[in-house]
């Protein structure tokens, strides 16, 4: 099995089960034209995010890592009209591309892009937001455990915390891998071992983006 096969299956799934969405296509195009890296979630992964948003009846979503707004638009589309999504992006030029695409997709009223390193944006988020129903962690991978720990204190019981890119080509299973991002994902898993506040699993994925995976954690009651 190779990358061509993984991509062909993603294309087949997109052609059968996924809705055509011109605004999402335009968002990808705008990001490409502006020179952003093409590292947004794949269309089938994006649909999973939408299903999860609907399953937990999320009204308040926090995203770490906006890029060109692709996953933000997807998740915002799955929100009810009074839902709200805040997305954090370190790079002002990426945030600008995302804002335009989010506006063009018609979800500008539900989505707020905040610019700056996410760790610096968190104190301001403490004020007046309350708790989140779903948090999608997809920014700088070394900080995934830090974002997770912050999110865990601010996600309601029954809510979800999802972290992208935890499998990292399979290095997650290698205790000797020196890569800092991999070490961080292993640490996150070890921190969650036996933590009664969450019930979690990691699902390995292949697709247009190669071999990686999501961690999905359900926040338990107190
Ligand atoms: N969620 C997006 C993809 C995000 S890619 C999608 O699926 O459409 C990761 C993003 O995180 C990049 O845009 C990168 O600039 C941003 N990022 C990296 N470090 C960050 C930080 N410290 N704080 C906030 N965003 C960061
Ligand atoms: C990268 C970031 C991502 O969020 C992703 O899904 C794939 C790659 C990256 O920074 O290379
Ligand atoms: Mg990612």
How many Å apart are CA 28 and CA 56, to the nearest integer? Answer: 27
The ligand 2 atom nearest the CA atom of 138? 4
- The torsion of the CA quartet 27, 170, 1, 43, rounded to 10 degrees, works out to -20
C-alpha of residue 135 to centroid of ligand 3, in Å: 13
Residue 16 token pair: 């059968």
Quick one: pLDDT at residue 41?
A: 98
Q: For the segment 142-193, what is each residue's pLDDT rounded down to a tens digit? A: 999 999 999 999 999 999 999 999 999 999 999 999 999 999 999 999 999 9
How many Å apart are CA 162 and CA 154, to the nearest integer? Answer: 14
Quick one: pLDDT at residue 126?
A: 83
Quick one: pLDDT at residue 54?
A: 98
- Contact (CB, 8 A) for 64 and 121: no
Please count the other Cβ atoms lying within 10 Å of the Cβ belonging to residue 82.
8
Quick one: pLDDT at residue 176?
A: 97
C-alpha of residue 183 to centroid of ligand 1, in Å: 19
Residues of the chain where predicted confidence (pLDDT) is lower than 50: none
How many Å apart are CA 79 and CA 91, to the nearest integer? Answer: 26
* pTM of the model as a whole: 0.98
Quick one: pLDDT at residue 211?
A: 97
Ligand nearest to the CA of residue 94, numbered in listed order: 1
DSSP 94: H
């Amino acid at each position: 099995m190779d990358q061509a096969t993984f991509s062909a299956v993603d294309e087949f799934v997109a052609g059968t089960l996924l809705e055509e969405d011109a605004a999402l296509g335009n968002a990808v195009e705008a990001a490409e034209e502006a020179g952003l890296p093409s590292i947004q979630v794949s269309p089938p992964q994006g649909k999973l995010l939408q299903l999860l948003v609907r399953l937990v009846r999320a009204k308040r979503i926090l995203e770490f890592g906006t890029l060109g707004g692709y996953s933000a638009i997807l998740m915002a589309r799955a929100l009810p009209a009074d839902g709200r999504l805040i997305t954090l992006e370190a790079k002002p030029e990426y945030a600008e591309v995302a804002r335009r695409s989010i506006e063009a997709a018609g979800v500008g009223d539900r989505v707020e892009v905040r610019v700056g390193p996410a760790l610096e944006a968190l104190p301001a988020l403490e004020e007046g937001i309350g708790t989140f129903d779903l948090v999608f962690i997809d920014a700088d991978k070394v900080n995934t455990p830090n974002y997770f720990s912050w999110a865990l204190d601010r996600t309601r019981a029954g809510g979800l915390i999802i972290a992208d890119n935890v499998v990292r080509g399979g290095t997650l299973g290698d205790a000797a891998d020196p890569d800092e991002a991999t070490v961080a994902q292993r640490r996150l898993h070890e921190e969650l071992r036996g933590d009664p506040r969450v019930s979690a699993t990691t699902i390995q994925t292949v697709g247009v983006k190669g071999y990686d995976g999501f961690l999905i954690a359900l926040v338990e009651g107190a």
